Amino acid sequence: MSILSPSGVNTKGFTYTDFMGVDSSRDKSSLDTGEKQHLLALEDGFCDWRGAIVRNAGVQIHKNIDKAIDHVRFYSRNNVCFVQQDGGGLSLNSDQDHLVQEAFTTGSVVTSTVFNQKVFMVSKDQSSYVYNGSSWNKVASLDHLKPAYCTSVGRRLAVAGITGKATEIHFSRVDDENFFTEQEEAGETSVTRGAFLDIKNFIGTADEIKGLGVLENNKLCIFTNDQVIIFNIEPNFENWILEDKVSVQTGTISHNSIVRYGTDLIYCGRDGIHSVKRSMENGVTIFSQSLSSKVDIKYRELLAACPNLEKVSSTYDADEGHIHFFFPKSSPKLSEKLTYAINPVGGDSKWSTGGHLNSRCGDFLGGELILGTSGGLFKTQNIEEKSDFPPTMIATTPILWHGSLNSTKESTSFILHAHGFGELLIECFNDKGQQIDSINLTIDDTGDDNNFPDVPLTRQYERQFLHRYKGVQFKFTSSGSGILRIMGLAINVRD
């Protein structure tokens, strides 16, 4: 990015580019790196793989329903079923308006999976339900278990989190959810019959199962509070074996936070967000890796605001390469989202937060991301599309020292490198937190940008900035619909 200097003024410039997302692991006074610049806060925006700050996409109404949504799951290519909060409990509903009033008690944690092209929803110590696209029905085969968690693995429906059987996982008959061990005949010898695992002697402590996930299609990851145990699950239960090359000593806080990314599993633990993955070096060892060290303070703040950690959930938007983690807070009208933007070309991945429409949960399928919010269901649009419900992005830099922490700088101009559409308010503060300036820009990538067609784009976003300070901090607030990217900023100072 070129530095423009006012005529006749002997200046030097400082440029800040290649933004790296939020870093809450360091103080705002120690985050100035120039290139590969981290941000102090980034709400309803993200840093893409190019290093630009990008405003989040807007949304449109998927289903007009004025209810807080606790859980959502696709049951077909374009349609979802979901759990909504009602006056007397949690009700089951769908895009087709198939409604089961107060199926679960108020405050229940609902988990779901897709098995045999049907959606199964379960909640601890309560009757389980299945949705086939035309009606909701109770799952009679689970009445004796009433599990808290479910997943699909090895062509079987697997359930856990059972009162009185805290270390057991029960599996349905292959391809048939109507038969678990309880429903099988006493003399049944088929290797595809219903079966169960008890891992109490594999745990080695008084721990219990807290969630289930599937790694590499047939590996069942059994999460406890403090570790992960993995079994290879085949249709033939006689072939089930324990993976002994596993070193994962971090558990999960929420079954619904476990999400698949490629061949890895990503999940929320007490101390941060982790991945379960196979070693690229030897191809044998399965281990865990911490992903959230840069946002560890922010992550703990979000957990502290959640009254029930088991309601923390996640979903993976494969088109954008974003993993969203949802943190419902004490009121149904409050929720916050933490987003992990994966770098598609390798290198560092980047974090941001979001509070747009108080998203509480979500699910992704076939290019569509459906968000459950405190006021209904919404579908996320592409970042370049116009929207009736656009977010307001707020990005805050740390204190920028221009090299020296002690010397006083005398600035002459401020330059922004941006493109797209939208209004941009830039608030400027000195190192003592006092506001010293405010700049309003209209970003408009049309041929008559800012109504000065003969002026280069970069110069149209240069403004006089006459101030004395040791350090300066900027807060960008962007409203509008459609794409908006901030590629970099620069400040000219006198020698």
pLDDT band at 446 (very low <50, low <70, confident <90, very high): low
pLDDT for the residue numbered 455: 47
pLDDT for the residue numbered 495: 80
pLDDT reading at 74 higher than 90: yes
Residues 25 and 126 in one domain: no
CATH code for the domain in which residue 450 is found: 2.60.120
Residues 89 and 47 in one domain: no
Residues 46 and 98 in one domain: no
Residues 441 and 478 in one domain: yes
Question: What are the beta bridge partners of residue 229?
Answer: 222
Residues 69 and 43 in one domain: no
pLDDT reading at 450 higher than 80: no
pLDDT band at 2 (very low <50, low <70, confident <90, very high): very low
Which DSSP string do the residues of 162-195 spell out, in sequence order? Answer: BTTBTTEEEEPBTTBTT--GGGS-TT---TTS-E
Q: Are strands 41-43 and 322-328 parallel, antiparallel or unpaired?
A: unpaired
- 336 part of a folded domain: no
pLDDT reading at 192 higher than 90: yes
Q: By residue range, what is the domain housing residue 18?
A: 11-57+395-494
Q: Among residues 304, 326, 357, which one ends one of the domains?
A: 304
- 319 part of a folded domain: no
pLDDT tens-digit profile of 228-240?
A: 999 999 999 999 9
pLDDT tens-digit profile of 271-284?
A: 999 999 999 888 88
Do the beta carbons of residue 389 and residue 380 sit within 8 Å? no
Residues 204 and 120 in one domain: yes
pLDDT for the residue numbered 349: 87
Cα 93 to Cα 317: distance, rounded to the nearest angstrom: 23
Residues 32 and 173 in one domain: no
Q: Among residues 279, 304, 329, which one ends one of the domains?
A: 304
Cα 371 to Cα 369: distance, rounded to the nearest angstrom: 6
pLDDT > 90: percent of the chain: 82
Residues 120 and 228 in one domain: yes
For residue 393, how many other CB atoms are within 10 A of its CB?
26
Beta-carbon contacts of 252 under 8 Å, excluding residues fewer than 6 positions away, are 210, 211, 223, 225, 258, 267, 268, 269
Residues 161 and 251 in one domain: yes
pLDDT for the residue numbered 419: 87
Residue 298 has φ and ψ, to the nearest 5°, of -60, -40
- 471 part of a folded domain: yes
pLDDT reading at 457 higher than 70: no
Residue 131 has φ and ψ, to the nearest 5°, of -120, 125
Residues 423 and 481 in one domain: yes
pLDDT tens-digit profile of 149-184?
A: 999 999 999 999 999 999 999 999 999 999 999 999
Average confidence (pLDDT) over 25-37: 89
pLDDT band at 449 (very low <50, low <70, confident <90, very high): very low
Question: What are the beta bridge partners of residue 314?
Answer: 325
Q: Among residues 304, 336, 353, which one ends one of the domains?
A: 304
Sign of CA dihedral 173, 195, 202, 158: positive
Residues 277 and 220 in one domain: yes
- 18 part of a folded domain: yes
pLDDT for the residue numbered 332: 65
Q: Which residues of 219-253 are buried (b: 16+ CB within 10 A; e: fewer)?
A: bbbbbbbbbbbbbbbbeebeeeeebeebebebbbb
> What is the tally of structural domains in the chain?
2
Residues 296 and 404 in one domain: no
Average confidence (pLDDT) over 419-441: 95
Do the beta carbons of residue 256 and residue 325 sit within 8 Å? no
pLDDT band at 66 (very low <50, low <70, confident <90, very high): very high
pLDDT reading at 196 higher than 70: yes
CATH code for the domain in which residue 124 is found: 2.130.10
Average model confidence (pLDDT) across the chain = 92
Average confidence (pLDDT) over 314-340: 92
Cα 20 to Cα 75: distance, rounded to the nearest angstrom: 36
pLDDT band at 328 (very low <50, low <70, confident <90, very high): very high
